[in-house]
Amino acid sequence: MKRVIISGTGATIPQAVIGNEELVESYNAFVERENVVRAAEGLEPLPSSSAKFIEHASGIRRRHVHTPDGILDIDRMAPRIPARDDDDLSVLAEFGASAAKAAIDDAGVDPASVDLVVCASSHLQRMYPAIGIEIQKAVGAEGAAFDLSLGCSSAASGLHVAFNLLRAGAHRRALVVTPELITAHLNFRDRQTHFIFGDAATALLLEAVDDDRDVAGRFELVDTRNWTQFSNNIRSNFGYLNRAAEEDASRVSMDDKLIKQQGNKVFKDVTVASHRFIVDFLADHGHTPHTIRRFWLHQANGRMNAMILKLAFGEEVGQDRAPMVLDELGNTAAAGAVVAMHRHHKDMKAGEFGLLCTYGAGYSIGGALVRMM
């Protein structure tokens, strides 16, 4: 088996920012208007929200969004992203390609030497042509490309696939690209989920290397692992069969097709499963949590991550050991842990270990153990 390194990282964070206060102002204005109608119909009123509730529940203070136009408009409450012609670069491929080009530049390699592109995202713009193939063309890569989706574990799953293909000799260089334009799939009228997500795109460039190559300052991938167990507690019902299920196939309701979750159940189930996954994965490689210099965990919920780490370590763990970007970016789904790695790894010393771990819908959990060279 060949050695595999992460030779480049890239991240694209949109410039536009929406803070909790303005998001809540829009949501509460919608609720106030809606409750007039509900009262007339004898229905229970919708609850209002607050910035304080959002930060307590999630740790999120603001989120960066790809397209802010339309999100705060209570008559729309969705980003306004115009359709593009089929011959134009798609919105999601453009977003992913920007991070992919940054990773290629970081690695200092010729794009044409990349012979595998995996677009690993929780929310794909379409099924075909594959977004990965479009990104492959946009960055000038060659070889093969495909899409992979496993909720918020998509990036870790893409790493798992690319790592094993590279070390088996099937490919030489692979890009794992994770464009997450989640605000377009989010129900901004749902109190449980409207505040959770932000947009970001990331990319990791993996290379199979010879033993004599100097890879100082880069990560060697020691091993990867995936775990899944079916659960309906995080779900999106958007898909091709929506049209076939409607009596009037020309009018498909979006009301129940967007992201929904049972937050309390997810918190409990995923905390327990992720703690066990981390401890067992590390133990299989002769490690305990205390021997890992840095953890880049899925950026979904600050309290969840604190609890997972406390269960693993037996004590509170600070930002230096497990940096968070959630408060600034919101939950960026599969991209979040990679953003944390991208931003917080250059101070690590040769020989130190890190663990990237993501968890989410499925349920699914993915991990990658790395060593700084």
User: pLDDT tens-digit profile of 128-164?
Assistant: 999 999 999 999 999 999 999 999 999 999 999 999 9
* Predicted TM-score (pTM) of this structure: 0.95
Q: How far apart are CA 41 and CA 28, in angstroms?
A: 20
Peptide bond into 363 cis (omega under 30): yes
Q: What percent of the chain has pLDDT over 70?
A: 100
User: pLDDT tens-digit profile of 324-348?
Assistant: 999 999 999 999 999 999 999 999 9
* pLDDT over 80 (residue 22): yes
User: Helix or strand or coil: residue 184?
Assistant: helix
What is the chain's alpha carbon radius of gyration, rounded to the nearest angstrom?
A: 21
Q: Give the catalytic positions in this structure.
A: 152
Q: How far apart are CA 123 and CA 178, in angstroms?
A: 10
- Sign of torsion over alpha carbons 193, 67, 151, 11: negative
The whole-number average pLDDT for the span 176-190 is: 96
Mean of all residue pLDDT scores within the chain: 95
CB 40 within 8 A of CB 306: no
Six-digit token string for 81: 């992203």
